[in-house]
A = this chain, B = another copy of it.
Amino acid sequence: MTQISQRGKTIFASPFRKYLPLADAAKARGVDVIHLNIGQPDFPMPANTVQDFRWTGPDFVPYGVAEGETALREQWCRYYEKFDIQVHHGQVLITTGASEALQLALLAIADPGDEIIVPEPFYANYNGFCQIAGVNIVPLPSSIDDGFPLPEMDAFASAITDRTRCILLSNPNNPSGKIYPPAHLEQLLRLAVEHDIYLLIDEAYSEFVYDGFDFQSILTFRGADQHVIVADSVSKRFNACGLRVGAMVSRNAEVITTVTNYSRLRLSPPMLAQGLANSLLQTGPEYFESLREEFARRRQIILDRLSRMEGVVFHAPEGAFYILARLPIADSEHFSSWLLQEFSHDNRTVMVAPGTGFYAGEGCGLDEVRIAYILEPQRIELAMDCLERALAEYPQRTIQETTAITGLK
């Protein structure tokens, strides 16, 4: 018998997708499954982009350079000016999604057995990226009870060992929706400089900020240029998830060179998508304003509905388009699969992402689920009808009588 590798047997299973077979089975039974599990909005892309997209290159599609097309890298720099970020194109590498940016950055800065400090909850796939790189996540807990703040600097400092290579987080945070205040980011930077470790920040949701919260890119802080690496993506902000175009940005020339060497192994990012991404990055501010307004509306529906459900605790998200809610359940994996296998309401159910996937700490997230508020309001309402009914019917419901909301401005 041939064998699967040990790592293959234990590879982190995506919480966004691992119950898709159950969703497919539910659909096969005629059940309408509302997908709250994945950050896949349904807004149109900026007008005259994807439908009008034409390949304008030669009559074949050559490899591009590994670093990405220069025109696209330059366009990315111009796009960054709106965030007061000054970088030149040699500091921007185009990657096959932000996922690749993170994976290549980890390879460049950490060896097997090294440690990466990650405040949790965090974007679930960091678990898988770190497993592939052979590096260990050292999670620092933050709690829904006080709105998922950045852990105290003392907690970071205590977690740093001689194997620590970086602190990794997303800002705005997926899944918590937290936006980290500039003052906290600055403290983090000082800590990174003091201990000579990197800050690897995933800013894929930088356009999605609500209620006047203040997002500031880590690239706007100067004086720690050697320590900062950003992963970015066109996916969310342009409703272009399937393009697979992202970027890794750093002013550290050695990081750029090393990641370039890694990126040459896969030859080039996808060329058709790079052409389209270049057009997308030229989108005017009205597009984002209307997106933000619409997401804010959807967010409000979720907040209103959740606040009327007994035993549900949540923090009002400040950015991105997710909410990580505590439910009166003891096992979010069981609840997530139960929703797809055993529950329906008006022949309809919801698919959520179990909270466990967003933590590395043992036993964390068991009573939480991540909900993406990406669907049209009517679907969100139907989804909330289902969730409300499901919580009432769920046989393993725990007794938890208070509803709590934190962080509403």
> Which of B8, B108, B134, B270 contacts A272 (CB under 8 A)?
B270
Q: Which of A136-144, A254-262, A308-316, A375-383 contacts B (4 or more CB under 8 A)?
A: A254-262
Q: Are A242 and B266 in contact (CB under 8 A)?
A: no
The residue of chain B having its C-beta at the shortest distance from the C-beta of A69 within the complex is: B242
> Which of B20, B38, B239, B262 contacts A11 (CB under 8 A)?
B262
A64 close to B (CB within 8 Å): yes
Q: Are B265 and A8 in contact (CB under 8 A)?
A: no
A188 close to B (CB within 8 Å): no
Residues from chain B with Cβ under 8 Å of A100 in the complex:
266
Complex CA–CA separation, A242 to B241 (angstroms) = 19
Q: Are B11 and A261 in contact (CB under 8 A)?
A: yes
Residues from chain B with Cβ under 8 Å of A268 in the complex:
241-242, 244
Complex CA–CA separation, A99 to B59 (angstroms) = 24
Instruction: State which residues 112-131 of A face B: CB under 8 Å.
Output: 112, 114, 125, 128-129
The residue of chain B having its C-beta at the shortest distance from the C-beta of A128 within the complex is: B265
Q: Are B1 and A241 in contact (CB under 8 A)?
A: no
Complex CA–CA separation, A40 to B110 (angstroms) = 33
A227 close to B (CB within 8 Å): yes
Instruction: State which residues 266-290 of A face B: CB under 8 Å.
Output: 266-273, 276
Nearest CB on B from A236, distance (A): 11
Residues from chain B with Cβ under 8 Å of A38 in the complex:
63
Residues from chain B with Cβ under 8 Å of A222 in the complex:
none
Q: Are B132 and A97 in contact (CB under 8 A)?
A: no
Residues from chain B with Cβ under 8 Å of A128 in the complex:
262, 265
The residue of chain B having its C-beta at the shortest distance from the C-beta of A271 within the complex is: B242
With A45-B61, A55-B53, A227-B2 as known contacts, state yes or no: A99 contacts B242, CB within 8 Å.
no
A409 close to B (CB within 8 Å): no
A403 close to B (CB within 8 Å): no
Nearest CB on B from A149, distance (A): 27
A109 close to B (CB within 8 Å): yes
Complex CA–CA separation, A114 to B270 (angstroms) = 31
A111 close to B (CB within 8 Å): yes
Residues from chain B with Cβ under 8 Å of A243 in the complex:
61, 270-272
The residue of chain B having its C-beta at the shortest distance from the C-beta of A11 within the complex is: B261
The residue of chain B having its C-beta at the shortest distance from the C-beta of A244 within the complex is: B270
Residues from chain B with Cβ under 8 Å of A14 in the complex:
261, 264-265
> Which of B7, B110, B254 contacts A107 (CB under 8 A)?
B7
Nearest CB on B from A33, distance (A): 15
Q: Are B226 and A2 in contact (CB under 8 A)?
A: yes
Q: Are A276 and B265 in contact (CB under 8 A)?
A: no
A17 close to B (CB within 8 Å): yes
A5 close to B (CB within 8 Å): yes
Complex CA–CA separation, A59 to B227 (angstroms) = 39
Q: Are B62 and A40 in contact (CB under 8 A)?
A: yes
Listed by A's residue number, 18 A-B pairs whose Cβ atoms lie within 8 Å are: A1-B226, A4-B254, A5-B110, A8-B107, A12-B265, A13-B261, A45-B60, A54-B54, A60-B240, A62-B241, A99-B267, A100-B266, A128-B262, A243-B271, A244-B271, A270-B272, A270-B273, A272-B276
6 smallest CB-CB distances across A and B, nearest first, come from: A242-B271, A60-B239, A270-B270, A44-B59, A128-B265, A61-B242
Contacts beyond the supplied A2-B252, A5-B111, A128-B265: 4 A-B pairs with Cβ under 8 Å: A44-B59, A45-B59, A50-B55, A270-B273
